[in-house]
Structure 1
Amino acid sequence: MSRLHLLFLVTAGWLLVAPAALAAPALPASFIADLERLEQRLADGEVEAVSERALAQAERLAGGNAADRWARALYLQLAAGAVARAGDPASAADHLLAARETGGVEAAQRDRWQRDEARLRLAAGDSEEGAKLLADWLERHDGEPRDRWRMARVMAERGQWDSAADWMERALAVTPEPSEDQRRLATAVLRRAGRDDAALMLLADGLRESRDAERWRQAAALAQRLGDTGQAVAIWEAGWRRGVLEGQDDLRRLIELHLAGGTPARAAEYLAEALEEGELEDSEAHRRLLAQAWEAARDRDRALAAWEALAERSDAGKDWLRLGQLAHAWGRQALAERALGRARELGEGDAERWLEAMASTATS
């Protein structure tokens, strides 16, 4: 069912309840019968004929007594339903505006028509007036959750992110279990408004039951952005263990987060296993990262072994130099001399200074 059809049903539905539900002037039987006939014709699809008849009656009754004015408002409402069904929400909204501006109409009925006019104007693309009317109506009524979601979307479409976030928080307050689409929209709006804490809370709520990989990634990214790298690591680790996060990119990100989060040994374990199992390319870059991870973890044996394997593979002066520096610092003098000697041969200027310092220390 289209949005316009839904709007038509909402609008036309008030015709059935308004005379009985409100303290409105009594209508002559002829008006009631005519309205009911027109409503039936509209249900049968006679949209254009009903619209013409309703507008003609409304014009004829303008300026009459209280009963005439009430009947005029109901004819305008019926015309609104007809043109909305015909695909013209802008004209339908204009008819409802005329109806609610009719003198003598009860405040409660004017409010109902204002809400429906707001929805119609939004459907017609008049976001400024539609949002203004709906926001005003929601200041006096709780409305339905969809009204608050609608306001949040409209404000987001207009780029008014603070206002969109305000409405989004109001929408979430009456939506205990938002759908994944609603959650994604809310997260995007809250982040654009700079409300990262609220966005993270929303993403983390029920995260363990989610199989949406992007939601896990966003939650971890937000946690890191807020300076809580430990939480980011925990989120990514949990997603990886559950099989929601997978593949090379997610594995590399897991390793990076462990390095940034102060758990380099865990990063090294993941990387070593991935290289052994062929899950990541056995490249010099990955081998260098492995050596750096073991170094950061202060695992001397594994760090030196990793740096030595890398240096022999790359034969790069900088790799031999780093191996020599670490070996010297950790008391492996023979390895230090060999590594620094090779670094000097490859043109690393610092290697000569390190060798001189070692020789000076040995003779003192």
Structure 2
Amino acid sequence: MVTHRQLRALVCGSGIIAVVLFPMIGQAAPALRPDMVRSLEAMQQRLSEGDTANVASRSKSAAERLEGGNASDRWARALFLQLAATAEARMGNDAKAADLFATARGIDGVEAAQRLQWLNHEARLRLRAGQSERGSELLDRWLSQAGGQAGAEDYWLMAQSLASQSQWQAAASWVDRARRDDASTTDERLGLAASVYQRAGRNDAAFAILDQLLSGGSNNPDAWRRAAALAQRLGDTGRAAALWDAAWRQGVLATQDDLRQLVKLHMAGGTPARAAEYLEEALKKGELARNEANQRLLAEAWAAAKDRDRALQAWRHLAEQTQAGQDWRRLVELAYGWGYWRAVIDASVKAREAGENSARSWLLEGIAYVELGEREKARQAFMSAQKAGADQAEAWLVTLDSASEGAVPPPTQVDVRSES
């Protein structure tokens, strides 16, 4: 969401209400009385000297006295209202200033060009005051009448005002127009464009802009995070991981949460070994606590990378830390799948000590003993597996009983593949 604070910053930076009365007074039609010209010029001088409160009060009083007069009085009244509006705006009273401009442009006899200028001032002041809906309506009206007076600055303001109201599709149209007219778009506006396009569902366009922003060396963490999130949404998790990795290496992203997200992105993006390396380095340096969550993430990363020795070591450390039967069982499965028979047996025993009397763990332990040629221990394990409810255990026992003292072939039609 585009905040009012961001919108106000854009309005304030656009140089609104650069009021110059002298040319208007000199060119005024109908002509003003000499005393009225002197009064307006004196008020203008006081405003330039910073006497804003006095100018606001006296200009409003003068405008009230001139209400209902002839054409010359009406024109002078409009100019006093403009002075009062300018003074109020300089004091930060944007809503009051906008109301004064609205009154001025509603006076009979004011020329169309002057009404249009005051319409622009009022629109921007209402946006600056947080009156987003009314401000957007007035700015849209001004843009429809301004013709060649409007430019990229105005289109960006319109886009941001609509974005502040979550009118994303309309805002995206104005962003398109602003980008066509703006040859030197700032990083701030690129960020606005990316945000608007993303909310409008134009993810490809948003990602292209973010890529442009980041390639220019942006040090805005939110831009990097948004680019990675968009890459994920577009189905390119590898690209998301690469973006996050680049931001991490440049120091743009540097928190513990950023590191954990980097690890998760590498795992999801098909580079789990890189994830594990980052984690292991951070744990060694003490940048991450060696707690259960981080140790589990490390074990999962090494397992996904199929680095057998490191994966088994990490899972053993985790299981020793948690003393959870399910973690020992996971170690049993990994060790069995990779043919680490002693590790299967050891983890199976630890699982039972942790209260996990799994029929499958007994079965895999028995197979490990068979592979190691320890037939009697294998028999005992298969009997325990049978007692715990493993259907395959009986087939293994029959095979053991019928086999010679040599190698024991696995029973036919028995599936003991890992469940994980």
Give the TM-score category using the shorter length: 0.7 to 0.9
329 and 171 in structure 1: CA distance in 2 versus 1, 3 angstrom threshold: same
RMSD of the TM alignment (CA)? 3.4
Structure 2 SS opposite 1:9: coil
Given the two structures, how large is their TM-score scaled by the length of structure 2?
0.68
Q: Which residue of 2 aligns with 1:152?
A: 159
Preserved CA contact (<8 Å) 2:98 2:123: no
CA distance in 1 between counterparts of 2:120 and 2:267 reads 54
1:244-280, Cα deviation, whole Å (9 max, x unpaired): 2223222222111111111001111111222222222
CA distance in 2 between counterparts of 1:203 and 1:97 reads 42
Alignment of 1:151-230 (within 5 A): 151-173=158-180, 174=182, 176-180=184-188, 182=189, 185-208=192-215, 209-230=217-238
| Letter matched to residue 242 of structure 1 | Q
Q: Which residue of 2 aligns with 1:36?
A: 37
Structure 2 SS opposite 1:16: helix
CA distance in 1 between counterparts of 2:43 and 2:260 reads 62
Q: Alignment partner for residue 250 of structure 2, among 237, 242, 250?
A: 242
CA distance in 2 between counterparts of 1:185 and 1:285 reads 36
- Alpha-carbon deviation of 1:299? 2.0
Is 1:130 the counterpart of 2:135 in the alignment? yes
CA distance in 2 between counterparts of 1:94 and 1:156 reads 24
Structure 2: unaligned runs, 5 residues or longer: 1-10, 47-53, 89-95, 371-395, 400-407, 411-420
CA distance in 1 between counterparts of 2:252 and 2:294 reads 24
Given the two structures, how large is their TM-score scaled by the length of structure 1?
0.78
Q: Which residue of 2 aligns with 1:331?
A: 339
CA distance in 1 between counterparts of 2:281 and 2:244 reads 18
15 and 127 in structure 1: CA distance in 2 versus 1, 3 angstrom threshold: farther
Aligned length: 341
CA distance in 1 between counterparts of 2:228 and 2:153 reads 29
- Alpha-carbon deviation of 1:7? 5.0
Whichever of the two has the greater Rg, that structure is 2
| Letter matched to residue 117 of structure 2 | R
CA distance in 2 between counterparts of 1:33 and 1:343 reads 102
Structure 1 SS opposite 2:253: coil
Preserved CA contact (<8 Å) 2:155 2:174: yes
Preserved CA contact (<8 Å) 1:80 1:91: no
CA distance in 1 between counterparts of 2:291 and 2:168 reads 45
Preserved CA contact (<8 Å) 1:81 1:92: yes
Q: Which residue of 2 aligns with 1:275?
A: 283
| Letter matched to residue 352 of structure 1 | W
Preserved CA contact (<8 Å) 2:40 2:80: no
201 and 334 in structure 1: CA distance in 2 versus 1, 3 angstrom threshold: same
Q: Which residue of 1 aligns with 2:84?
A: 83
342 and 184 in structure 1: CA distance in 2 versus 1, 3 angstrom threshold: same
Preserved CA contact (<8 Å) 1:217 1:236: yes
Is 1:112 the counterpart of 2:117 in the alignment? yes
Q: Which residue of 2 aligns with 1:303?
A: 311
1:65-107, Cα deviation, whole Å (9 max, x unpaired): xxx4xx46632430221221342324422333324x538x3x4
Structure 2 SS opposite 1:298: coil
| Letter matched to residue 272 of structure 2 | P
- Alpha-carbon deviation of 1:328? 2.2
CA distance in 2 between counterparts of 1:123 and 1:305 reads 60
CA distance in 2 between counterparts of 1:176 and 1:204 reads 16
Is 1:347 the counterpart of 2:356 in the alignment? yes
CA distance in 2 between counterparts of 1:33 and 1:259 reads 80
325 and 210 in structure 1: CA distance in 2 versus 1, 3 angstrom threshold: same
Structure 1 SS opposite 2:356: coil
Structure 1: unaligned runs, 5 residues or longer: 62-67
Q: Which residue of 2 aligns with 1:65?
A: none
CA distance in 1 between counterparts of 2:312 and 2:128 reads 67
Q: Which residue of 1 aligns with 2:324?
A: 316
CA distance in 2 between counterparts of 1:282 and 1:297 reads 20
Q: Alignment partner for residue 291 of structure 1, among 282, 294, 299?
A: 299
- Alpha-carbon deviation of 1:116? 3.0
CA distance in 2 between counterparts of 1:177 and 1:124 reads 26
